[in-house]
Amino acid sequence: MFLVDRNNFRKYQSGQQFQYYGGHYIISPVNITVNGDGQWYLIVRGGGQYEYRFY
Q: Is 13 helix (H, G, I), strand (E, B) or coil?
A: helix
Per-residue confidence (pLDDT) for residue 48, from 0 to 100: 67
pLDDT in tens, 5-55: 999 999 999 999 999 988 877 777 888 888 878 889 988 876 666 677 776
36 φ/ψ sector (left φ>0, alpha ψ -120 to 50, else beta): left
Check residue 26 and report its DSSP letter. S
Task: State CA 41 to chain mean position distance.
Answer: 6
Per-residue confidence (pLDDT) for residue 44, from 0 to 100: 81
Q: What is the pTM of this model?
A: 0.71
Per-residue confidence (pLDDT) for residue 28, from 0 to 100: 76
Per-residue confidence (pLDDT) for residue 6, from 0 to 100: 93
Q: Is 9 helix (H, G, I), strand (E, B) or coil?
A: helix
Per-residue confidence (pLDDT) for residue 9, from 0 to 100: 95
